[in-house]
Structure 1
Amino acid sequence: MADSPEDIKKKVKSYLLVGGVLFLGTYLTYKVATTEVLDIGKHGFDTADCLLGFLIATIKATLVAAIFMHLNHEKKAIYWIFFGSFVTAASLAGLTALAYFSPIHDKFFPGAKAGYVGQHD
């Protein structure tokens, strides 16, 4: 915590700097999506541009969590909880990808092939 006016001025300067970086990141994300010079991959908005946008968003979210939410001064338990949320999100994304690439072909599920007979029928 800031106890003196000098500490408060220092914190205000760092908050303004981080706010400027966040604004710059937002502008950069916009330019990546709309400017041909910053277009990576194929012409137009594609997977490479999407991944670059997610990278910029991840950096911005990390800055917000570390600086504005003061996670850079928290105890280890907070870091474990924070890390656990990323593991959970990655696990759910993996399960979703698994379901997409290895679908269930059963007559009781929507989108099943017509005339398909399951193993237990």
Structure 2
Amino acid sequence: MGLGYFARCALERAQWGTGHLSRTYEHQGDHVKLVQKATEETTQEFDINGTPQKVSQGDGVVIQTTSWDDEEEGVLLFETKDLLGCDPNSWTHCRQYLQGEELVIEVRGARGHRAVWTYHRALS
């Protein structure tokens, strides 16, 4: 996502990354509750209905549109914009899908940067 070497090292020291991040999804119909645990816990709630909605993200609120991809079955699409929709440099596009037993999250920033996260299902 365009982070330099020192920023990546700082994130590593803060135990951000492999083995230190988890996501739990709960859904009922089109409503989803996502709990992410890293250095702190955050919760997001949204509906998969293709309409823009205010969603809490980290320490702020964004406008997020969530829908199923019409071309690829099982791919969830997220378009995220700043609250006022006036800062195109902060907008992102995200694809989330299952690949076997792994959750893959691909994010593209407005400036063309790309990040991919792969989550492994935790054994209970």
Q: In which range does the TM-score fall when normalised by the shorter chain?
A: under 0.3
**TM-score normalised to structure 2 length:** 0.20
**TM-score normalised to structure 1 length:** 0.21
Determine which structure has more spread, i.e. the larger CA radius of gyration: 1
Structure ranking higher in strand proportion: 2
Structure ranking higher in helix proportion: 1
